[in-house]
Amino acid sequence: MSHLLIIDALNLIRRIHAVQAGQSLTPEQALIATRATLINTTHKLLAQAAPTHAIAVFDAEVRGWRKVRFPAYKEGRTPMPTELRTGLETLQDAFWELAIDSLLSQTDEADDLIATLARKVAHHGQAVTIISTDKGFCQLLCPEIRIRDYFNKRWLDLPFVQSQFGVTSAQLVDYWALTGVSGSGIKGVPGIGPKSAAALLQAHGSLEAILSIESDDKAVKRVHAHADEARLACELVRLRDDIELGFNLRDLRLPLPGEKSE
């Protein structure tokens, strides 16, 4: 069986760089240290996951469809440090030196690229491991797809989702549509917090099911009163998996031991 390792590149790199930038180093020294740590970390990931294929997916600075649909999307995010932005090419080269291709689209967010790639591979019964701290990928969980939070040394798996959110992975999109996602500037339903959202979904199953019923329950009435906002949030938090990638799995194959990369 093939096993694809997908690295959420900037999720990994920005956290490594934040540590190095706090070590009283010059910007140039911090970038060099980030590159060295990135190579060391990636070696560990390859050793631990033992994949047959791998790719590092980068975010480009694009006005993607979510920003067009909802201009406040990620409005408050801390911008990437200038020295890191200008040094991204050398960090991409670090992956290349390890025989790992990089994917960077000028039109699509990394999250959607990762979702598309993961589901395409999983659809063919092959294994996928996503390296990211982003819980948004938990909506992709299935027997073929797993998610590893490298920094907290934990799997973002089905028990994690149940413990953290009180819903199933299939209900996560509707859960976030109700609660909103503050880090992305996505507003949910006013007055609906994590506990209320989980209780509603446990009782009714889905956002659309909640919107289809008549009830005197205050939480249900709140959802009805903000149906448009909830549906928009649902659209925004759902990862796209229909992007045309222009390559296939065999293009991402890692060289076998003793085999030179092309």
pLDDT greater than 90 at residue 36: yes
* Nearest Cα residue to 122 out of 139, 146, 144, 104: 144
CA 90 to CA 84: how far, in whole Å?
10
Q: Which two tokens stand for residue 27?
A: 């910007």
93 and 129 in one domain? yes
How many helices (H) and strands (E) the chain has is answered by 12, 8
Give yes or no: residues 95 and 181 share one domain. Answer: no
DSSP state of 142: B
Does 192 show up as a binding residue in the annotation? yes
Q: Residue 164 in contact with residue 175, Cβ under 8 Å?
A: no
Write down the pTM of the prediction: 0.95
Do the annotations mark residue 189 as ligand-binding? yes
Count how many domains the chain has: 2
Cα–Cα distance, 247 to 231 (Å, whole number): 33
pLDDT tens digits for range 131-147: 999 999 999 999 999 99
Q: Are both 150 and 173 inside the same structural domain?
A: no
- Inside any domain, residue 176: yes
Q: Looking at the structure, do residues 52 and 100 belong to the same domain, yes or no? A: yes
206-255 pLDDT, tens digit per residue, is 999 999 999 999 999 999 999 999 999 999 999 999 999 999 999 999 99
For residue 114, being part of any structural domain is answered with yes
Measured between alpha carbons, how far is 56 from 234 in angstroms, rounded to an integer?
27
Is residue 249 a known part of a binding site? Answer: no
Mean local confidence (pLDDT), 78-85: 89
Residue 106 confidence (pLDDT)? 83
CA distance 131 to 118: 12
The tokens of 7 are what?
């690295």
Which CATH number do you get for residue 217?
1.10.150.20
Mean pLDDT, residues 121-130: 98
Last residue of a domain, one of 122, 156, 190: 156
pLDDT at 221: 98
In this predicted structure, which of 98-107, 205-214, 251-260 has the lowest mean pLDDT? Answer: 251-260
User: How high is the pLDDT of residue 258?
Assistant: 66
Residues 28 and 127 in one domain: yes
- Pick the closest to residue 170 from 161, 160, 178 (CA basis): 161
The parent domain of residue 20 ranges over 3-156
111 is in an annotated binding site: yes
Query: Is the pLDDT confidence value at 262 over 60?
Result: no
Q: Output the domain CATH number for residue 68.
A: 3.40.50.1010
Answer yes or no: are the C-beta atoms of 226 and 186 closer than 8 Å.
no
Judgement on whether residues 45 and 70 belong to the same structural domain of the protein: yes
